[in-house]
Structure 1
């Protein structure tokens, strides 16, 4: 399980978001990424904040692409802005920062008071209702640093920018007040289902809420007006502006809360807000290839709540318990990660919540009853492609699912398997995502290998054999394709975008897919198939080894068969599943030779590590570097840690946002993303 955990942060490399910030940083932590995750919970609730060049300020907009939040504190009648820009307050200074698997924490100095600000995106591996609820917490505590009592009021708002990428569209909103809590909600006057503009869903409803507490006030209206009012009076008017207008009218339409904490030296009871983005339904899913019939699938949390108000109230009242659960989970995760290295623990903390932004959905029958046997998860590539359940991205997130709850991997695989098992799907290989296009046939080998490996990983780690039994014939058909096509490939594209002939790394992916099917056959009682596929995998491996091993003293693997150029190499990250799942295909001597070779290469590597292939023009890939580390984890912990530290060096590079927050692909020397948008998965 340690090897499964080794690749947990890989997911962070596929969801890089545009972010802006402006306060000031003197971090007590050694890990200082350019961007900090704030609200990371679902495909359309991904808010980040930039802190380039060790800036000591948070006074710029935290954003998911273009969405703004703002926060103020009023201390002894003086306004201080602790997040956002363009407000009436003085600039605050960030003293310390910390990233955990579920939280980003900042200690911010505002005059003689320190504000402790926490952005909390829960991870709930034991509760699908809680995990599927697309909300996050924001909390603030305050402490005097001079020993004197201070009069403190807090303010926070969001704008309607969360609901559309077109700021000229008209928003509608309301504020709902109950005896226990208050929430603002806003959506478009004319929402467009299943449509997005600049990565913002046009059918979103944004909610901002808090529990009813003493001296809490609220208001909706023009952002500048409310912020100025708070700066002057420390409170809001408990009113809502019902003149519906464009999102960017008068500045921006905003939804605000203010709380008067009174006068004290310490305010240790946190002020807590909850932010959420809800879409209903969240996806239209076509379960049968070639069919025009689709399912409107809803988030799983609706199985427990009859109204969004009830769900919000439960989420707010659960805050203390949610923190306790998160603390226990984080202790387990970080303890395991730190047993590898401190660098790795930081990467895990940075990436964990990013892996779990899928929509967990459920269907209903014609009478509206929930079908609890039909729970499916959908993962969106939040990058250039915006594909759903892209196989290579799901493969990269596989280790975190296996570590936290292996059944989650099955919920993602099921839609892919169901679609391709239908009569309308005629290909003998696996689709790269939900929907097959003729222009993508060049990646069928890697997709097929990935699907077989993941399907076996799910069954092995979860103990649930449902998928391997139900889709056995489909999996067998795919395996026969790999037996014929894995060893010698032409016109195939690897996961890192290479299209060389007979790539050693791509070939072993297919061979390990065959080996995974041998395990599937054995587990389902198909003994004849198990023996046949085991023999196939062994024979393919022996031929692969004879073609791929260098004849030099190092005995390392060549990037392509027969490529004996002294400077030629490739990271063999596709060996990782053999180690992860104990497939027993690759001999230890091959792992040891690779570990020694990587160690030699590392001596002359760029500042940010090894390129994934010498034909990549100096391009490194953080995900595949970590998979490579996982592949040789049992052979050389020293080399494993060297590779991890290379990725950490890039993640911790805080010099400038101009080189990208933390792109999947980057130059091994400069750290810059090779193309605009290169921070996203491709």
Structure 2
């Protein structure tokens, strides 16, 4: 396909200029976003150089994108390290099927030895446990048949070792829940307590190296699960070193709101690589497209012609939960496009739920424009790569592969730039069609982009291709404006944090069409507990969506309203969640948070009215809101011993910050009533809230004479305690005027004396913190200086944390290490300072 030369050169120049940051990026992100669309289609680089590690799903599992540029016949890797491959000496169920002998009853002495007679034991397929991955049931649950229920399991596996692999290099591949003891040929080689959430690799101990024999071997395993879930799988693997490719020299990387830009030198050419996920919230149709553009801008460094080809491959693991699941591949064409797709053979749509889980239904796509020099292929990953390294091309044989393990295969493209003498640009698209995205009370819901049931991914790719130039330009403009607006609101450090948070906050949700065609925007509690549509995740995430598109916040809240109004949820307070992602079939969290969730829903409904300038949304759900505010009237002011959104800190009674939420929730209801024309109800509830605020000050004030004035963690606490009163921010943002202005300023002055190197602790009980709440607390400050003083340590945490994962919102203020959580939507709360400017207008 030929291009108009003048247009082509102008667009190429525009693209290249987009790589020049308006504000020099000083922040080193903990992880770099590459593909960011939803909790399943989310790929990151966790190292500063794009070639220092394989690209990963946000959960940390490798989902390999590999990129190589060939310049005058010499290859340079610019994207992804080659994932380590493991030759199975004794495979785990993650990669291969196997059968083992096992018993749930305590065996006779010597059961771990090679000469033990296990003829009376059962035979079953591994792994063993009560998870979806387990092939043989082993559970401690009372609902499990007694024959498969026990705290203990004993397993024996026979295998042959040919003596070729170096024992000192061998690894145990293991996933266990809980304590495990492992024997090899009767010798104890591992005794490991607790549990793992995934497969890990451990060096084969010296005892294991000595016990390993050429020929027949027996691996014996005892696992005990006294509580919770159960799972056990153990194998032995040999890491395989593959031939390395010279790496391109990375010369820069810049993250903006919707784009991540890398620049490299490879031989005599410079190449810029741009990952664009066009999450423009003012265009819902675009934001809902699960399509990322990857653009390559190549230019000769010495102004001489150079032969250039670019290779990019996408592992089959992007379409699977585990690396051993079998996938099938297919090539296709649409008008103006050529594509490859890969997906599991079984296609168990919406069958799995959970936290550390990846999608294993639907299809990953790689598509390129049908123009000279663009090619695609699918096949064995090593074969595709080796052919390119040797020839600069892809294999030409038709794809006739039988179903293969995802880790072994890839879909790929080669973009041939021919002889580069002037700046030349090509692009491709990476996409995911999940067919159905969420199950909502047993009804499978479609992704928003295919809500008509007719639009196909090839058709969507065509639309995206036609939109490419427009979106590249609009995203670059938006990125610059977001940074500028954030900098005006809170300074450069604050702007850096907002830029880093933008794609992460959005991509921890999925935009789907509800049962009546309404917009649902469902969150996943990433590495928290995997809940879907959690109210106390919606609450901290909300500022970003209030700022850019309140329709999405309604889409976060609507399932909770519908849950109550359908009669399925029968309690007089708001539910915590609607299920475990992606199955929204009713609350699965084990405990209610009644004051927390009622306050959240009332405050956010009030915030929507503030953002939209009317209370129409509140009117739709007024009866439910009234039920919830009545609960807060009775139980909210002096909360009983219960959890709040900071549930990791444990139960607490008389929580002063939770009381603030209840008081302001009552005030928000009064404000909404007044907006709806019921002045008497409005005045009544606002007066009630203000009366409570007077009493709150009396009960919460710290009476320790040696401390700077502040308010305690809990009411009438004789000890010297304190906590961040981040919920007070809505008094300011919604102009409720419930608490005297001296209250937040007294708190701010006190907080500035309690900061640690990496932030203000959440409260006096621990030194860990939540970065979203720090930004909310900082927004209470009257002066820019105080705001920036509270934000600076958060910036330092993001810049210096040794935990290289998508931004964690729960970290240690003394050493910047992640405590828990990652890739969560709650970093959308960083935008609350910018939201203040919108609501104040």
Work out the CA distance in 2 between the residues paired with 1:536 and 1:492: 23
Q: Which residue of structure 1 lines up, in the alignment, with residue 733 of structure 2?
A: 580
Structural mapping, 1:281-680, within 5 Å: 281-286=436-441, 294-303=442-451, 306-339=455-488, 340-357=490-507, 358-363=509-514, 372=517, 374-435=518-579, 440-463=590-613, 465-497=615-647, 498=649, 499-551=651-703, 554-563=708-717, 565-566=719-720, 568-602=721-755, 605=756, 607-616=757-766, 618-632=767-781, 635-653=782-800, 655=802, 657=804, 662-674=807-819
CA deviation after TM superposition for structure 1 residue 220, in Å: 0.6
Cα RMSD after superposing both structures: 2.3
Work out the CA distance in 2 between the residues paired with 1:328 and 1:314: 21
Q: Which residue of structure 2 lines up, in the alignment, with residue 291 of structure 1?
A: none
Work out the CA distance in 2 between the residues paired with 1:233 and 1:274: 24
Q: Secondary structure at the match of 2:752?
A: helix
Q: Which residue of structure 2 lines up, in the alignment, with residue 58 of structure 1?
A: 51
Q: Secondary structure at the match of 1:200?
A: coil
Work out the CA distance in 2 between the residues paired with 1:638 and 1:563: 32
Q: Is the 8 A contact 1:558 1:564 kept in 2?
A: no
Structure 1 pair 148–107 and aligned structure 2 pair: CA distance change class (3 A)? same
Work out the CA distance in 1 between the residues paired with 2:455 and 2:554: 27
CA deviation after TM superposition for structure 1 residue 623, in Å: 1.3
Q: Where does the alignment leave 5 or more consecutive residues of structure 1 unmatched?
A: 1-26, 287-293, 365-370
Work out the CA distance in 1 between the residues paired with 2:265 and 2:289: 33
Q: Is the 8 A contact 2:349 2:361 kept in 1?
A: yes
Structure 1 pair 58–439 and aligned structure 2 pair: CA distance change class (3 A)? closer
Q: Is the 8 A contact 2:334 2:459 kept in 1?
A: no
CA deviation after TM superposition for structure 1 residue 468, in Å: 1.1
Q: RCO greater where, 1 or 2, for CA within 8 Å and sep 6 or more?
A: 1
Work out the CA distance in 2 between the residues paired with 1:656 and 1:615: 23
What are the superposed Cα offsets for residues 309-333 of structure 1, whole Å, 9 maximum, x if unpaired?
1111111221110011112222221
**Aligned mate of 1:189, from 324, 339, 345:** 345
Q: Could you say which structure has the larger radius of gyration?
A: 2
Work out the CA distance in 1 between the residues paired with 2:570 and 2:324: 45
Structure 1 pair 440–196 and aligned structure 2 pair: CA distance change class (3 A)? closer
- 2:276 aligned with 1:120: yes
Q: Secondary structure at the match of 1:597?
A: helix
Q: Which residue of structure 1 lines up, in the alignment, with residue 77 of structure 2?
A: 81
Work out the CA distance in 1 between the residues paired with 2:577 and 2:806: 27
CA deviation after TM superposition for structure 1 residue 238, in Å: 4.5
Q: Secondary structure at the match of 2:753?
A: helix
Structure 1 pair 237–674 and aligned structure 2 pair: CA distance change class (3 A)? closer
Q: Is the 8 A contact 2:526 2:823 kept in 1?
A: no
Q: Which residue of structure 1 lines up, in the alignment, with residue 311 of structure 2?
A: 155
Work out the CA distance in 1 between the residues paired with 2:553 and 2:29: 29
Q: Is the 8 A contact 1:220 1:241 kept in 2?
A: yes
Work out the CA distance in 1 between the residues paired with 2:657 and 2:764: 13
Q: Which residue of structure 2 lines up, in the alignment, with residue 261 of structure 1?
A: 417
Work out the CA distance in 1 between the residues paired with 2:565 and 2:527: 28
Work out the CA distance in 1 between the residues paired with 2:666 and 2:470: 45
What are the superposed Cα offsets for residues 99-123 of structure 1, whole Å, 9 maximum, x if unpaired?
1000111112222222111111112
What are the superposed Cα offsets for residues 561-617 of structure 1, whole Å, 9 maximum, x if unpaired?
233544x32111111222222221122111221221122223xx2x2112101112x
Work out the CA distance in 1 between the residues paired with 2:313 and 2:445: 31
Name the TM-score, length of structure 2 as normaliser: 0.71
Q: Which residue of structure 1 lines up, in the alignment, with residue 7 of structure 2?
A: none
Structural mapping, 1:149-228, within 5 Å: 149-196=305-352, 198-228=356-386
Work out the CA distance in 2 between the residues paired with 1:481 and 1:453: 14
CA deviation after TM superposition for structure 1 residue 274, in Å: 1.0
Q: Where does the alignment leave 5 or more consecutive residues of structure 2 unmatched?
A: 1-22, 83-242, 580-585, 827-841
Q: Is the 8 A contact 1:113 1:145 kept in 2?
A: yes
Structure 1 pair 439–419 and aligned structure 2 pair: CA distance change class (3 A)? closer
Work out the CA distance in 1 between the residues paired with 2:604 and 2:357: 28
